Amino acid sequence: MGVLVINFLLYFLYFLFAKRDTGVLFKVLLFMFMFVSCSSIFIWETGIYEFIHYNYILSWNLSLTPFIYLFTLFIILFIPIKSFNEKKIEIIELDNTYKITTLGNFAIIYGIALFLVMVLFVDYNVALESASDVYKENEQGELVMPVFIYRFYTLHRLLYPFILLLGFYFLSFKRDKWLMTVLMFLAAILPKVFVAIVTVSRGSLFFLLIELCICFLLFKKFIPQRTKRLLFIGSLVLLVILIPVVVQFTISRFQSNDYSPLMSVFKYFGESFINFNCTFWGNVEEYPMGEFKFPFVYQIWDEPHTFLSRRERYDFFSVMTGTNVFLFKTIVGDFYLEYGAVLGAIILIVVARLYSRLIRFKKQVRFSTLILFFYYYELIFVGVFDLLWHGKTLLQMIVFTSILYMFLRYNYVLSHKTE
């Protein structure tokens, strides 16, 4: 227990020393890390972790070294977020009003049309009635939605941060365009909630709430007080709708297991630090060198294996590494598993350095910068559990976000040069 307490104190003391002159978003991030590290103490001391993960633990002796390794790299990953103080923002400027508004109109039409198609072609009642079966089928590669809907949803997933942030921008600065604002939120949220339900993903619903909180905190100082009260009421309604769904998923998915649904929730929030320490640190037999999570990079020098399902993929790399790669291990743990302690750390330091340069601002911040910040913040926030995106999804995110950012940014610079 002593090592786990020290792990918690690392983040707690860092919070005390770093909280001055930092934004609420940074403080919320650290609270999340402190909560997870505190939860790890609870599941270890109560025996929940041992009961659930008995077959996967490769070392029963918790060591301080892997926690120091995690903490050191997380401090570096925190830097772009720590320097981004949303309270100091005085002006949020659209890079190009015409292009952003046009793309926003397209996203509204696309999102609402996609949701209507989903309702017509997908039987969502199956997920609510038999969440366990649907979840297993999804893990084994069986599609729970028609192929064409998955393809259409890919574009929505890429547009989602843009349309959600634009919705909050309109909520803050375009108060007379309330109908368009409402449509933006519906276009962003409805398809995401629907897919989370039919794929029985509690994580997706949890991340949706986090994403809404991120956007709210970014625009909080610009949102009128009356609108904030309406948002509070709307949030309560959303929670009333989603909580019973999450409870149903949890009960259905774990009713056939030896442990209770409540234990699965505790495990969800407390296992990542312990997993890295007990299962992965010093126990990896062979590093995939990018083939597992980053096959689009690995294929530059070698042909990656192909798999019929996620389960088959996880089983293959579990055998290769000698560990259960399906377990949460933090984003740092993912890079450790993939590339080893040294190379994995170097890659993460480069990523943090890159974002530190990209999301700089003083009193004025561009909308395109907020998009990059949103992606990075969510990546690190969810990184206390695992790497949020990988494989084809990560490649799509990188390509689409880069094109969108340059598209908006280039036009902004060009217009100033011609003045």
Please give the average per-residue pLDDT across 277-300, as a whole number.
Answer: 92
What is the average per-residue pLDDT within 121-149?
62
Summarised one tens digit per residue, pLDDT across range 53-87 is: 777 777 778 999 999 999 999 999 999 999 998 88
> Span 331-338, mean pLDDT?
96
Cβ(293)–Cβ(391) under 8 Å? yes
CB 67 within 8 A of CB 10: yes
Sign of the torsion formed by the C-alpha atoms of 75, 79, 83 and 84: negative
| Residues whose CB falls within 8 Å of the CB of residue 243, separated by 6 or more in sequence, listed in order | none
State the Cα–Cα distance between residues 225 and 247, nearest whole angstrom. 33
Percent of the chain at pLDDT exceeding 70: 89
Share of the chain above pLDDT 90, in %: 51
* Higher per-residue pLDDT: 121 or 142: 121
Per-chain mean pLDDT for the chain: 86
Which pLDDT value is given to residue 15?
A: 94
Bigger pLDDT: 110 vs 307: 110
The C-alpha atoms of residue 395 and residue 146 are separated, in whole angstroms, by 23
pLDDT at 146: 80
pLDDT reported for residue 416? 43
DSSP class of residue 92 equals E
Phi first, then psi: give them for residue 135, nearest 5 degrees. -65, -45
Sign of the four-CA dihedral 94, 381, 357, 156: negative
Q: Write the pLDDT tens digit of every residue in 160-194.
A: 999 999 999 999 998 888 899 999 999 999 999 88
Phi and psi torsions of 267, nearest 5°:
-60, -40
Query: Residue 214's pLDDT band (boundaries 50, 70, 90)?
Result: very high
Q: For residue 265, what pLDDT is reported?
A: 79
Rounded to an integer, what distance in angstroms lies between the CA atom of residue 180 and that of residue 170? Answer: 8
The encoded tokens of residue 389 equal: 């995106």
Q: How many CA atoms lie within 13 A of 84 on its CB side?
A: 26
Question: Are 81 and 29 in contact, with CB atoms under 8 Å apart?
Answer: yes
Of the listed ranges 26-40, 148-162, 292-306, 404-418, the one predicted with least confidence: 404-418
Measured distance CA(314)–CA(336) in Å, rounded: 16
Mean predicted confidence (pLDDT) in 310-328: 92
CB 276 within 8 A of CB 329: yes
Task: State phi, psi for 324 to the nearest 5 degrees.
Answer: -85, 95
Tell whether the model's pLDDT for residue 127 goes beyond 70: no
Distance of CA 277 to the CA centre of its chain: 22
Q: What is the mean pLDDT of residues 261-286?
A: 88
Cα 355 from Cα 383, distance rounded (Å): 16
Where do the DSSP E strands lie in 46-142? Answer: 91-93
Report the pLDDT value the prediction gives residue 418, as an integer from 0 to 100. 37
Give the pLDDT confidence of 218-265 residue by residue, as tens digits.
Answer: 999 999 888 888 888 888 887 887 777 777 766 666 555 656 667 777
Q: How far apart are the first and last CA of the chain?
A: 64
Between CA 365 and CA 22 the distance in angstroms is 17
Q: What is the DSSP string of 254-266?
A: HTTSSS-HHHHHH
**What average pLDDT score do residues 89-99 get?**
89
Query: What pLDDT does residue 51 have?
Result: 83
pTM of the model: 0.89
Cβ atoms 213, 228 nearer than 8 A? no
pLDDT of amino acid 256: 55
Mean pLDDT, rounded, for 364-379: 93
DSSP 305-371: P--SSHHHHHHHHHHHHTS-TTS--HHHHHHHHHH-HHHHHHHHHHHHHHHHHHT--SSEEEHHHHH
Residue 413's identity, in one-letter code, is V
Lowest-pLDDT choice from 142-146, 155-159, 286-290: 142-146
pLDDT confidence of residue 413? 45
Flag whether pLDDT at 412 surpasses 70: no
Give dist(CA 176, CA 109) in Å, integer: 20
Cα separation, 73 vs 68, in Å, equals 9
